[in-house]
Amino acid sequence: MNDRYNRLPMDTTMEQQYSPLMLALGSRRPHDGLADKLQLYGQFVGSWDIDVDFHALDGSRRWSAMGEVHFDWVLQGTAIQDVFIIPARRQRAADQPPEPWYRYGTTFRWYDPRIDAWHITFLDPLRSVEMRQIARAVGQDIVQIGDDSLGVSRRWRFTEIAKRSFKWLGEVSWDRGETWRLELEMRARRASS
């Protein structure tokens, strides 16, 4: 369970630390009626350090970076939102503009009992990226599939999921899912709290 609100200094109120939007958006726990289903992504609530490798179309590694990702409950605990930041904020030069390969995006995830799956929306405004996917558990993995704004199929997978680590694979297909090519790989480890 996320207890970040309980860790505020004793002489500080939540209203002084967070904006009204953040207070209304955030939630302390999953919605009671959906708690079991929400654990698919709820297991990631918290902060993670990530090592990222971006692969060129020929399979070679194009660049690597360290990043960060933060997951939390939102909208009365009915959904999970994250923020992916590559490179990590601590590695960015404050006086330099972002490089074209930088990422600073958010993913909004909500479970739909009508289809027993998750709706996924990813946004990265600086790169003008929006992606919608449907996600389900597949064995021990989580698989998200959808098409980007250019009609290219993208599959994002959480694999090797453990309590303090996971791997995230971003794959692309130009033949509607017949073949997949690795584009982005992230190895995550839970950050110290």
Contact 81, 109 (CB under 8 A): yes
Statement: residue 191 has pLDDT above 50: yes
**13 lies in a domain?**
no
Answer whether residue 20 is part of any domain.
no
Confidence of residue 5 (pLDDT cuts 50, 70, 90): very low
Q: How many domains does the chain have?
A: 1
Q: Is 88 inside a domain boundary?
A: yes
pLDDT in tens, 92-134: 877 777 777 788 899 999 999 999 999 999 999 888 888 999 9
> Is 18 among the domain residues?
no
pLDDT tens, position by position, 128-185: 888 999 999 999 999 999 998 888 899 999 999 999 999 999 999 999 899 999 999 9
- Residue 158 in any domain: the answer is yes
As a whole number of angstroms, the distance between CA 108 and CA 110 comes to 7
Angle at CA 166, nearest 5°, toward 163 and 172?
155
What is the reported pLDDT for 13? 53
Q: What is the CATH number of the domain that holds 42?
A: 2.40.128.20
Quick: pLDDT tens for 39-58: 999 999 999 999 999 998 77
CA of 72: how far to CAs of 40, 55, 126, in Å?
13, 29, 22
Residue 9 covered by a domain: no
Asked, for residue 24, whether it belongs to a domain, the answer is no
Q: What is the pTM of this model?
A: 0.82
CA distances from 157 to 93, 96, 97, 180 (A): 31, 32, 31, 12
Instruction: List the domain range (segments joined by +) for residue 182.
Output: 29-190
